[in-house]
Structure 1
Amino acid sequence: MGSIPLFSPDDVNASVESAKYAFSKWSEKSARERSIVLFKAASLVREEQDRLSKLLTSEQGKILPEAKNEIQGFANVLEFYASIAGAVFGTALPKSDYGYSFTKKEPIGVCGAIIPWNMPVLIMAWKIGPAIASGCSIVLKPSQKTPLTTIEIAGIMKRAGLPDGVLEIVTGRGDIVGGAIAKSREISALSFTGSASTGAEVERLSCGTRKRLTLELGGSDPMVVCSDADIDLAVSGAVSGRFYNCGQTCTAVKRLFVFEDIYDSFLSKLKERTEKISVGNGLLKGVMMGPLNSREGLLSIEKLADEEVGKGADIISGGKIISGGDFDKGNFFEPTIIANPDFQSRLLREEVFGPILPVVPVNSLDTAIEYSNNTEFGLGASVWTKNLKDAYAFSEGVDAGIVWVNKHLKIPPEVPFGGEKSSGTGRENGISALEHYMREKTVIISP
């Protein structure tokens, strides 16, 4: 499909210097001037949606409708930050013996971003949107697995009027390029999305550089279905929430807890819906789920399924690698439902990236909350019920940065997003992210 340069630490430092120079000019632009560029970039991305979507599917594997949705999501995020670029205000303080005081918000400086392969375009927008809108410049490293669409969009940003250096793309190995970004003392804020283990290394390398960190480190999201839930709606939510992007999404439904009195009915309908999912090349019409992104990921999912069977769990649907013919050209795995998994299994405790969903019966909301919290992660969670009291009780009791009621997975750009525990620190999206890229200055004027 193409080739990309492998940056060295010196190359990264040169990009940081370019971004530093660009920041001195870009930060002087008014919020309105910055917004015009972002709105123009969003418009151009929408115009090229078909081409960009096909490129994204080709390099990442997701089906074309999901790729189009992600490209649209990129434009949505840019438009949101263009609309609020000037919405962060300081405060005026009462007069006192010290004089008249006020605070102001200023762009923090050169920023860094490290993005993953699973949702590269949308997560790119989550990072560059608030940074550029606030007046910062940003050095962004895409995953080695999915750099092409990111690079294409960077070119579109330039065509929209973004000055050279405001967005620098650096490509190459994570330990080398990502490590250089983390260690740079010229970068004032860094936003990282990836695994918990890599996030810990980014945090270690950043120690002593005094940069602000936002770490989005994945999750093991629970979905709880109560007795009074709309079963058809919940089944649909479980299927789309788990098998979207072949299950390779940080906020995917990864653990399903269903009340005992509806468990059999729910499981039957879930099996029926899951077995209707057509798997294949994401560029083909009618395909509902594409391949996993890597052979490593494919074998990991196969191993998990085999582990559960060995412990006595029941494979309700799927459970195997799909092979033969064109399937041998990709990393295809059957959409899989597993009932009665071992409570201490990795499937119920770790972040699992792939199309495999464990289903567990529970006897109460308290038990569902207890099971939901039985993991080191705390990113997202959902409860499906018509009872507002139960919905509120779940939202209070579950350890998660975002809680959905009768929905899962959707994250509009207006709302803050992030996790608790090992799912990370800081927030993306919303006005919270805009403030992450700004510093507060106090001014005191003597009487």
Structure 2
Amino acid sequence: MSLAPSPLSPLTELQTTRYGLFIDNQQVEPADGAYLDVLNPATGRVWAQVPDASLADVDRAVASARAAFEGEWADWRAADRAAFLIRFGQAIADHADEIAQLQVDENGKLIREMAGQARLMPEYFNYYAGLAQMPTGHTNPLHLKQMLNYTVREPLGVVAAITPWNSPLLLLVWKLGPALAAGCTVIAKPSEITPVSTIRIAELAAECGLPPGVFNVVTGYGQPSGTALTTHPGVDKIAFTGSTATGQAIAAAAGRSLKSLSLELGGKSPNIVFEDADLTSAVNGLIAGIFGASGQTCMAGSRILVQRSVYDRVVEELAERAERITVGDPQDDRSEMGTIACRPQYDKVLHYIDVAKGEGARLVAGGTPATVDGFEGGLFLRPTVFADVRNDMQIAQEEVFGPIAAVIPFEDEDDAVRIANDTQFGLAAGVWTGNVQRAHRVAGKLRAGTVWINNYRKTGYNTPFGGYKQSGVGRENGPDALREYTEEKSVWVDMGQGVKDPFNPRA
């Protein structure tokens, strides 16, 4: 097996392709020659190998990023960075089918979902191309005469972008767009489950004229490469998306050297249905909120809170709809739910099903593995609905990250808000009601970074995303994201007659 720039789909080829680290605009072999296998979760087959980076490999990537930050990249004007981002976005658009396919091969999500994300990513780069050229400083009126004060924003430095397996490229773009627009350099560390797609878009960036070292990719397990990045003295900022537990560990490690942090972490988001809601629309939103992406999304509406007067009807409709969802080949447009991304996650979801049963939750749909003809080695699960869940159950308090809906009854508005906020998380929430006053009133009381009213699971490049409480620190997307990758400098200028002797003011 040799290093290759382009993969082969495991659904059409049995060959295993070996990839390298991406450093200085080229694939390179790992220092110690260690590789790990990449499996397709639908077929169970190994289809690629990537380096399991060592400390020496991390040092090499950081040195490359630092040299680029202090070298050629520092000379690029904002207009140059903007022009690159537009070229890069177009290259991704031109290769959208390829990079969508790569992600399906890696994590088993539906091709139609991955294709939709791939076609959307260029818009993020176009947006940040515009922001790259926007004024970022200002002048300040002062209490002192004959003095001028102005501020400028400068790129923060070398960024370690650590990304998860559920939407590997879109969540990287959320970091890469503002980081490059600001003038930072980036070392991406994708999940060991989904590394190939990240290598591929780094190649596209190089083909679009990005200087060597500006965008590097280090693959491998969290230990040692991920840990090495979070503690490396040459890294100025860590941008992480993943579990709250890992985010806490990263924050603790980064705190020792006071690195800048942005953390987008876990969720246990409430999707609240009031009795005056359009129940047909609400059930559609509930289904999309928890079974889209096989429930493997931080914003999943995994706690479904339903007012008591319509509770039985909603539970019945949810169960019936869940049983009708087509679980199948992620490549088939007729499939409505793909696989769980990896064996450990698959086993974790099955464990939570057993826990929920043991705690007394009532299983009304799913709860078992799904069998798909021709994919006997695939990690498929049936969409699962538990009713009569109490909010103190594990199934209601802990992030499962899988296709499990926990349905909880509530009495009135105050009860709904109390239950919704009774969690360590605060990433997102949904409110379904026909009462406009109630919609805004409840949205204002929910401790969540995003609240959807009569819709769910929508995001955009120009609006912030992030969480309260243990769901994260900082915001991604929107204009504020650009500030996350800059430092603000205050400059004072004497406009008068110079500095007088401070110890002899009459002189």
Quick check: TM above 0.5?
Answer: yes
State yes or no: 1:415 paired with 2:460. no
State yes or no: 1:8 paired with 2:79. no
- Equivalent residue for 2:24? none
Higher relative contact order at CA 8 Å, sep ≥6: structure 1 or structure 2? 1
Bigger mean CA deviation after superposition, 277-286 or 264-273: 264-273
- Equivalent residue for 1:315? 363
TM-score, scaled relative to structure 2: 0.86
**1:164 positional shift:** 1.0
* Letter matched to residue 21 of structure 1: A
Alignment deviations for residues 65-124 of structure 1 (CA, whole Å, 9 cap, x no partner): 011122123222212111211224211123633611111111111111110111101111
* Letter matched to residue 266 of structure 1: V
Decide which of 73, 91, 104 is 1:57's aligned counterpart: 104
- Equivalent residue for 1:334? 382
8 Å CA contact 1:80–1:414 kept in 2: the answer is yes
Counterpart secondary structure, 1:79: helix
**1:327 positional shift:** 4.3
Alignment deviations for residues 205-248 of structure 1 (CA, whole Å, 9 cap, x no partner): 11222211011111001100111111111111111111111100
Cα distance between partner residues in 2 of 1:388 and 1:342: 28
Larger radius of gyration: 2
Counterpart secondary structure, 1:185: coil
* Letter matched to residue 6 of structure 1: D
State yes or no: 1:23 paired with 2:47. no
Cα distance between partner residues in 1 of 2:121 and 2:402: 23
8 Å CA contact 1:278–1:287 kept in 2: the answer is yes
Counterpart secondary structure, 1:329: coil
- Equivalent residue for 1:345? 393
8 Å CA contact 1:61–1:290 kept in 2: the answer is yes
- Equivalent residue for 2:214? 166
Alignment deviations for residues 369-412 of structure 1 (CA, whole Å, 9 cap, x no partner): 11111211111111011222212222222111111111111110
* Letter matched to residue 282 of structure 2: A
Could you tell me which runs of 5 or more consecutive residues in structure 2 were left unpaired when the two chains were aligned.
Answer: 1-46, 496-507
8 Å CA contact 1:308–1:342 kept in 2: the answer is no
Counterpart secondary structure, 1:67: helix
Cα distance between partner residues in 1 of 2:57 and 2:67: 16
- Equivalent residue for 2:168? 120
- Equivalent residue for 1:244? 292
Counterpart secondary structure, 1:37: helix
Decide which of 379, 401, 405 is 2:453's aligned counterpart: 405
Give runs of ≥4 in structure 1 deviating > 6 Å.
none
- Equivalent residue for 1:79? 126
Bigger mean CA deviation after superposition, 25-34 or 322-331: 322-331
Identity of aligned residues (%): 37
8 Å CA contact 2:107–2:342 kept in 1: the answer is no
Counterpart secondary structure, 1:338: strand
**1:421 positional shift:** 1.1
Bigger mean CA deviation after superposition, 31-40 or 319-328: 319-328
State yes or no: 1:359 paired with 2:407. yes
State yes or no: 1:109 paired with 2:157. yes
* Letter matched to residue 414 of structure 2: D
- Equivalent residue for 1:180? 228
Cα distance between partner residues in 2 of 1:203 and 1:306: 32
Decide which of 383, 392, 401 is 2:440's aligned counterpart: 392
8 Å CA contact 2:361–2:387 kept in 1: the answer is yes
**1:204 positional shift:** 1.7
Cα distance between partner residues in 2 of 1:435 and 1:197: 26
Count of residues in correspondence between the two structures: 447
* Letter matched to residue 89 of structure 1: T
* Letter matched to residue 51 of structure 2: P
Alignment deviations for residues 231-270 of structure 1 (CA, whole Å, 9 cap, x no partner): 1111111111111111000001110001112222222222
TM-score, scaled relative to structure 1: 0.97
**1:325 positional shift:** 4.5
Decide which of 278, 293, 302 is 2:350's aligned counterpart: 302
Counterpart secondary structure, 1:23: helix
Matches within 5 A, 1:268-279: 268-279=316-327
Cα distance between partner residues in 1 of 2:183 and 2:356: 50
8 Å CA contact 2:327–2:372 kept in 1: the answer is no
* Letter matched to residue 60 of structure 2: A
Cα distance between partner residues in 2 of 1:227 and 1:395: 17
Alignment deviations for residues 117-143 of structure 1 (CA, whole Å, 9 cap, x no partner): 111011110111100011111111000
Task: Name the structure with the higher helix share.
Answer: 1
Cα distance between partner residues in 1 of 2:248 and 2:189: 17
* Letter matched to residue 384 of structure 2: T
Bigger mean CA deviation after superposition, 192-201 or 305-314: 305-314
Cα distance between partner residues in 1 of 2:354 and 2:253: 37
* Letter matched to residue 269 of structure 2: D
Counterpart secondary structure, 2:257: coil
Cα distance between partner residues in 2 of 1:213 and 1:138: 14
Cα distance between partner residues in 1 of 2:373 and 2:288: 27
8 Å CA contact 2:137–2:152 kept in 1: the answer is yes
Cα distance between partner residues in 2 of 1:146 and 1:268: 37
8 Å CA contact 2:270–2:428 kept in 1: the answer is yes
- Equivalent residue for 1:256? 304
Counterpart secondary structure, 2:154: strand
- Equivalent residue for 2:256? 208
Alignment deviations for residues 34-72 of structure 1 (CA, whole Å, 9 cap, x no partner): 111111111111111112111110111001001112212
* Letter matched to residue 26 of structure 1: W
8 Å CA contact 1:98–1:444 kept in 2: the answer is no
